[in-house]
Amino acid sequence: MKVLITGGTGYIGSHTSVELINKGIDVVIVDNLSNSDFEVVNRIERITGVRPAFYKTDICSRSELFRVFENEKIDSVIHFAALKSISESVEKPLLYYENNVTGTMNVCEAMKRFNVKKIVLSSSAAVYGLTGNNPLKEEAPLFPYNPYGRTKMIQEHIVSDFAESESFGAVILRYFNPIGAHESGLIGENPKGKPSNLMPYISQVAAGRLEKLFVFGSDYKTPDGTGVRDYIHVSDLARGHLQALIKLENNTGVFTYNIGSGRGHSVLDMIKSFEKASGRKIAFELAERRPGDVDMCYADSSLAEKELDWKAECSIDKMCADEWRWQKLNPNGYE
Ligand code: UD1
């Protein structure tokens, strides 16, 4: 089986590539490297002993993407490539619609043209927004609270409508908050510039690269007033994609699953766990809420357990330990 992974050198894409290659699947990576590094391809090879095919290609260019499909006989697509910063999406909504929506349209066009009938779409808990009923089930109404979440919801609609019209199989995975790193310490999250997500920020404070963490909001309706999220180890998440491909072996139609641990942790909980894992003090300051953030968000992932035979396994302590190993071994990211 040959799987095209858009955004395959990114954080989740690289861990998923490793997972697939370790199961003997041929991986073709397409990435424009706008938020990732070519070195990831070398690291994937170091971990797995196999070098994936790599195309530096922007999926927003339909002709470039078609060329990849012409060169490779693709069986399935896992579509990650997208912009993902909530705060940036509030500032630059058109950039997010352009990248995330156009990219998805082009992936679907290429699949139609080259007769590829299976897709796994990377979606997000951000599609639920302010529904408020935690733990969130897949059938909860979608009220995305920021442009990023809206682009994810639109991607879901495009893929679902397209899959139904072409009678092919689509699995939509709604990730909660992926953190941690591969346990080798060779791949991990490597944001360009100042991190916008919590864990890379905390780990750079622990490493002394950043002075202190700003805790966005301490007056939320949560036990300690700080935001509560469902953190999940990126390797658990990567395994979810493999299970999704297995599901598509014998099924057509559209299947949507929450991919989370089912447990909520606050920002202060995460600081404590990271201090334990790293043995370092994390300096922080309570600050204003961040625009676009919700108070609480955690998953009911029982449908994925039932239908994909998938369940999150790693503890918060392991997530923090792996994140810290990655940070220590790669103080300047992939440089
Ligand atoms: C959101 C999505 C998640 C998606 C991610 C992509 C929700 C509920 N989750 O994550 O599915 O994968 O975007 O980027 O929409 N925080 C601080 N200080 C910081 C950074 C973050 O206090 O410097 C807090 C946030 O306010 C939040 C928590 O930490 O309460 C997690 O934030 P972050 O890591 O940015 O992820 P989400 O925005 O929850």
- Ligand 1 midpoint to CA 322 (Å): 19
Q: Is the peptide bond before 178 cis (omega within 30 degrees of 0)?
A: no
**Catalytic-residue membership of 334:** no
Which of 69, 39, 84, 329 minimizes the C-alpha distance to 191? 84
Catalytic residue among 128, 145, 148, 298: 148
Q: What is the largest CA-CA distance in the chain?
A: 54
Which of 6, 61, 47, 60 minimizes the C-alpha distance to 28? 6
Which of 24, 25, 26, 29 minimizes the C-alpha distance to 13? 29
CA distances from residue 257 to 31, 274, 302, 305 in whole angstroms, order as listed:
25, 29, 9, 9
pLDDT digit string (tens) for the chain, length 335 residues: 999 999 999 999 999 999 999 999 999 999 999 999 999 999 999 999 999 999 999 999 999 999 999 999 999 999 999 999 988 999 999 999 999 999 999 999 999 999 999 999 999 999 998 876 899 999 999 999 899 999 999 999 999 999 999 999 999 999 999 999 999 999 999 998 899 999 999 999 999 999 999 999 999 999 999 999 999 999 999 999 999 999 999 999 999 999 999 999 999 999 999 999 999 999 999 999 998 788 999 999 999 999 999 999 999 999 999 999 999 999 999 98
pTM of this structure: 0.97
Q: Is 326 exposed, middle or buried (0-12, 13-18, 19+ CB in 10 A)?
A: buried
Measured from the Cα of 145, ligand 1's closest atom is: 15
Which of 308, 252, 242 minimizes the C-alpha distance to 25? 242
- Ligand 1 midpoint to CA 226 (Å): 11
Chain centroid offset of residue 187 CA? 14
Cβ neighbours of 81 (radius 10 Å) = 31
